[in-house]
Structure 1
């Protein structure tokens, strides 16, 4: 019973922080026992020393231990107002103040159109201040990606606490996605969500599935730029067609079901494909509240509840509270095409420290793979076998845009050859499969890398559809 009460309390922390007028943050120490200056004992005399600065001196303690801890993530995210430190620092959705510092600039860099309008996003997190009052009315994969990326940069003393420290954010955002969130992955966008990548070296987190970004630690996870080529509505609006025209169109090739569901397809996965089909079917009646708008670069869709331009319609957010379903085991049954290639040379990226390897069929380069680690001892030997599963098919008619955007899995080093004219179809597009490198731990397959293989090469392998347990 104690465990159940703890879980309920952790999920309620978002509402506790959001309901408070302000949160006093003990950010000066290196642990939770440091406390607040002057509380619980005498404090030293303080000598005021007012200063004046012509630039905005951030009140957010970015370099503090508090700002790097996993357990303080939700405190930072959901509090409407924050007061920090040994000097009084106040931070809210409108401005920042610090004791003894005359702020000559306050709201100049915070864009508002009305005096009573608050900015939608908090600069240090990239997500809303007081998020409880700004829950999306339409499923927001970009909002969720921001949360995952920020949480992945934080540290936990006990790695088993990862899901608990993130429980409040999951509780709030779970209701904004049809079928909810499974180990950090929105089931509605599951194929896209699987395409997350490590920004640098990462290690496995025990007890969490390898296919989820929650299953890795000690490195920052890249969701936004990895998802963007397949779902244009990731970043803020730029009022350009790139806001709603995806770089690549998708087709499902894998089927999933949770370990504790009956045999057969779990209909809760990848519901976005049904809505994506509206892009190519102008005769179909749109969901209630949606309108199609013609544009020379590609149609976009708007909703009565939002001013954004969307790539395709989306379901509305249900007002009903959805129960978070956590399977009895962190595994998925996956039915997908499987094939084996060989590892070629390594390809590194100076900017991200990612380690990539070329995939070969004999002597021919047919794809590439981003590894989950970059330690030289763990790099597969040249010519060794690489077991792959195809998780989705994609096609792009804009390979130059891929390179310009710096798409991590296709856009640098020797893999630029994959975008050459010899790899294109007669229509000028490039078709490929997103593939996952798996290694076996007993009868469980674990994710070890993610990459692409060009369609013609993959199809020539005659991949065998198999049911695999992903853990």
Structure 2
């Protein structure tokens, strides 16, 4: 699959194309390795090539520049399983619970593809997902760190969102490498729309500029962690989970997130390999909030299962993206990712805690 990435780069894709990145992850997620933890080493070759266009490089399969979006990965269907950790493998070579590499199966990437709404127009049919206007806005809540050589805590520079204001800002000078222009789809009969173009991405127009790798730099930035754990300070709160309804064998399991009054607060999706008996009763869970999200009704997965009274009159949902975590020896591990409505999360008994996520 590294060859596919090489072709991509040779065709002039020198910008951080998140959609192409997701397709590459899909190609690795179902692969069977001699040792399941080898997925980290196997993907390293692709990550080295991706680092030529993704500022900050790739950390355990997640691009640093889009880290908050990449953390929202999910698997679909019942043919999914956790990749067992090889006890003899060095920790830095083991896929952590927060990475898609910790599971084997079919990645469900369509939600992430729509979340990244930086693309305005492309003439490549493969990029058609970007031509669908999106209202989704993700805002990170936490600063993540990984441990580098010598134990240094190195910030994960998740910086794409800092450029989003250019979508409404038609006056400020664009960042280096970008030019503001009129959209090719604009006409005299419609309101003119400004877009951003760059020589690094011919044929593409962007709603806002995104960080690019400095072409004058000879060195490629690749994170060099000595541990697969990342750290942050995040708000946590306790909720309950209850299965919404029996799901087909090949579909993910949906769970209601309930507050302490057992009122519906959101939804969590689980891969379909969970045994039904695990979900016959309510269970208490700990959630941490990692980002906020707003999106229109038609863009919200399983909109019918969210409390309608929490939706704005204009049809926009305000949500918190949360991780369900469980602790072992002072280290938290991701169980699943879900969404809680803004009203429910902010009404909960929250507390800011230090998180070590393994």
| Structure 2 residue aligned with 1:226 | 111
Q: Which runs of 5+ in 2 are unaligned?
A: 86-93
Q: 1:116-195 counterparts in 2 under 5 A?
A: 130-134=7-11, 136-195=13-72
Q: Quick check: 2:137–2:294 contact (8 Å CA) kept in 1?
A: yes
Distance verdict in 2 for CA 1:451–1:352, change over 3 Å: farther
In 2, Cα distance between equivalents of 1:203 and 1:302: 41
Distance verdict in 2 for CA 1:263–1:203, change over 3 Å: closer
2:81 to 181, 202, 205: 202
Q: Which runs of 5+ in 1 are unaligned?
A: 1-72, 79-126, 403-409
* Structure 1 residue 434, shift from structure 2 partner: 0.8
Q: Quick check: 1:204–1:210 contact (8 Å CA) kept in 2?
A: no
| Structure 2 residue aligned with 1:284 | 172
Q: Quick check: 1:257–1:332 contact (8 Å CA) kept in 2?
A: yes
Residue 134 of structure 2 aligns to a residue whose secondary structure is: coil
- Hey, which bits of structure 1, 4+ residues long, moved more than 6 A? 238-241, 261-265
In 2, Cα distance between equivalents of 1:350 and 1:269: 40
Distance verdict in 2 for CA 1:168–1:321, change over 3 Å: same
Distance verdict in 2 for CA 1:352–1:164, change over 3 Å: same
In 2, Cα distance between equivalents of 1:348 and 1:134: 46
* Structure 1 residue 419, shift from structure 2 partner: 7.1
Q: Is 1:321 equivalent to 2:219 in the alignment? A: yes
In 2, Cα distance between equivalents of 1:457 and 1:440: 24
* Structure 1 residue 346, shift from structure 2 partner: 3.4
Residue 339 of structure 2 aligns to a residue whose secondary structure is: strand
* Structure 1 residue 222, shift from structure 2 partner: 2.2
Q: 1:65-80 counterparts in 2 under 5 A?
A: 73-74=1-2, 78=3
Q: Provide Cα deviations, 1:343-368, integer angstroms capped at 9, x if missing partner.
A: 12234654952112111112311101
Residue 379 of structure 1 aligns to a residue whose secondary structure is: helix
Distance verdict in 2 for CA 1:431–1:344, change over 3 Å: same
Q: Quick check: 2:149–2:224 contact (8 Å CA) kept in 1?
A: no
In 2, Cα distance between equivalents of 1:291 and 1:151: 37
Q: Provide Cα deviations, 1:185-222, integer angstroms capped at 9, x if missing partner.
A: 101000000111112332134221110111222x1222
Residue 327 of structure 1 aligns to a residue whose secondary structure is: coil
* Structure 1 residue 246, shift from structure 2 partner: 2.7
TM-score by length of 2: 0.83
| Structure 1 residue aligned with 2:138 | 250
Q: Provide Cα deviations, 1:308-329, integer angstroms capped at 9, x if missing partner.
A: 1223102233342315333111
Higher strand proportion, which one? 2
Q: 1:276-355 counterparts in 2 under 5 A?
A: 276-288=164-176, 289-293=178-182, 296=191, 299-305=194-200, 306-319=202-215, 320-347=218-245, 350=248, 353-355=251-253
In 2, Cα distance between equivalents of 1:344 and 1:444: 25
| Structure 2 residue aligned with 1:387 | 286
TM-score by length of 1: 0.64
| Structure 2 residue aligned with 1:363 | 262
Residue 389 of structure 1 aligns to a residue whose secondary structure is: strand
Distance verdict in 2 for CA 1:457–1:160, change over 3 Å: closer
In 2, Cα distance between equivalents of 1:164 and 1:378: 36
Distance verdict in 2 for CA 1:268–1:381, change over 3 Å: same
In 2, Cα distance between equivalents of 1:145 and 1:329: 24
Residue 32 of structure 2 aligns to a residue whose secondary structure is: coil
CA-based RMSD of the aligned residues comes to 3.0
